Amino acid sequence: MFKVNTSLLSESKHDIIAIGAFEKKLLGGTAKKVDELVGEQLSSLKKNGRLQTKRGVITPIYTLGQMETEVIYVVGLGKENELDAEALREVFGAIGKKATEERAKTLAFGLDSFQSEAAHIEDLAVLAGESLALSTYKVADYKEKTNQVDIELEEVTFYAEDSTDALVEAATCGYTYGKGANRARALINTPGNLLTPTELAKEAKELADKHGFEIDVLEKEDMEKLGMGALLAVAAGSDEPPKMIVLKYQPKETWDDVLGFIGKGLTFDSGGISIKPRENMHQMKMDMGGAAAVLGAMDIIGETKPDVNVLAVIPSSENMLNGSALKPGDVIRAMDGKTIEVRNTDAEGRLILADGVAYAKQLGATSLVDVATLTGAVLIALGDCTTGAITNNESLMEELLEASVETGEWIWRLPNYKPYRDMLKSSDVADLNNAPGRLAGSITAGLFIGEFAGETPWVHLDIAGTAWNAKPHNLCPLGGTGVMARTLAQLALNREVETE
């Protein structure tokens, strides 16, 4: 899909070529060459204030036969000192989205014209590849089709004076990360009747077959033998059988130093007996966003193949209500033997993750990251742009924060002080209370899961605010975001780099 070239000629043919234009700076690199090929009209328009240089604004210029390429996108980059990685993703996303809307098959970048002190040319290639994948993703619909067939980008060419094949490798890596997030998005956006725990297990099987992962799917009978009382209690209200999905990626000879990802796989959440309000309940198909992030990360890992052992564990069920459903006041026993008083059946994600975390430890995970659309409270605390985190280990938390900075997926650490942990012990009849109250709701929910991590290094990521995008933008349409798929994969990749 990606190609490189050092020189642009008038006969170079693409549907579109995109060049960057900074405020108060002459066109440079390939942009200067494009300007020469069209009789320096671009620099004249820029000098006269006829070209927008505001960041992300695209001015289409038609070449009218002066070049084989039909359209030039002059893309505003704003002030050079403000163009960081986040801004570049937005810019490249705007290009990808507009090119797709115009049904382009071939797209070229004057990549060196986007270069600044903040971004090396190879970094630009990574960001361009990632942003093209993210910006061209479309949510599947189930309408009777009458529209024209979608056209996808087939070829992307990078022009730069110092182009090398390393740019292709870099762009392909970025594109792989974007496609992994898109896989997660597609799962989140699938209606609950079409993505049951059984279907989620099939998706994992397809991923295992694609990359050669080991896979194991525990059935209800297996869970009963292992004493997974928390997962089974949540699943009791549904006719759909629960699944405990396990993927194993082992590039090393020995199964040690294992990075464990645990994703909440609630394929639909009604709230159970503590039923949710009817408003927006249809969005609860996204309550398996943690599982989607883990599968998206495993897709990236399968493509990039870091030399790091990775275990993925996904406890999956529905949370419904029937005559067998879990009730407030019930006492259940988790896999590790702890008893739990259920004060709220809508606090079910932490229950299935309790058994997921315990099982990941049993399978050899030596560090744990769980990902879940866990609490509405995290939206109140952090809004819809930042993921909340709780940890018992400074080193692992720092690793994850570093990975999140690289992927542009913001994380904010919440406190884990003793008074919060004490709130979990407020049951008179069980070891733990699954819902000790509204105060510090995101913190106590995360720390509940931490009770099952024990002394194993662990980070919890609450993506209830970030897993769903209600305001479409250049990098993501309305619906699932695939958040944390890229960050989890980056965490694994960084561990490989550290051990080299």
- Point out the catalytic residue in the list 97, 350, 361, 486: 350
CB-CB contact of 100 with 136 (8 Å):
yes
Average pLDDT over residues 277-287: 94
402 is an annotated ligand-binding site residue: no
One-letter identity of residue 418: K
CA–CA distance, 466 with 170 (Å, rounded to integer): 27
287 is an annotated ligand-binding site residue: yes
Average pLDDT over residues 453-474: 97
Backbone CA torsion sign across 220, 226, 231, 237: positive
- Point out the catalytic residue in the list 276, 327, 343, 421: 276
CA–CA distance, 475 with 187 (Å, rounded to integer): 17
What pLDDT was estimated at residue 148?
58
Both tokens of 394, joined, read: 């400074």
Confidence of residue 202 (pLDDT cuts 50, 70, 90): very high
Distance from the Cα of residue 310 to its chain's centroid = 17
**Average pLDDT score, the chain:** 95
CB-CB contact of 302 with 211 (8 Å):
yes
pTM value is 0.96
346 is an annotated ligand-binding site residue: yes
CA–CA distance, 184 with 177 (Å, rounded to integer): 11
Both tokens of 171, joined, read: 């762009």
Q: If you write DSSP's letter for every residue of 391-412 in order, what string do you get?
A: ES-HHHHHHHHHHHHHHT--EE
Identify the residue with better confidence: 135 or 116: 135
What pLDDT was estimated at residue 9?
86
243 given a catalytic annotation: no
- Of 376, 215, 356, the residue nearest 286 (C-alpha): 376
Is residue 500's pLDDT more than 60? no
Tell me the HSE value of 468 on the side-chain side, using a 13 A CA sphere.
19
- Of 221, 186, 216, the residue nearest 204 (C-alpha): 216
348 is an annotated ligand-binding site residue: yes
* Residues 6 or more apart in contact with residue 139 via CB below 8 angstroms: 185, 189, 477, 478, 479
Task: Count Cβ atoms below 10 Å from residue 334 Cβ, excluding itself.
Answer: 24
Q: Which helix (H) or strand (E) holds 62?
A: strand 58-62
CA–CA distance, 26 with 35 (Å, rounded to integer): 11
Can you list the domains of the chain with their CATH numbers? 2-159 (3.40.220.10), 179-499 (3.40.630.10)
Looking at the DSSP bridge assignments, the partners of residue 468 are 480
Place of tokens 């392909």: 172
Condensed to tens digits (0 to 9), the pLDDT of residues 122-144 reads 999 999 999 999 999 999 989 88
Confidence of residue 147 (pLDDT cuts 50, 70, 90): low
495 given a catalytic annotation: no
What pLDDT was estimated at residue 315?
98
Q: Which of 5-19, 194-208, 330-344 has the lowest mean pLDDT?
A: 5-19
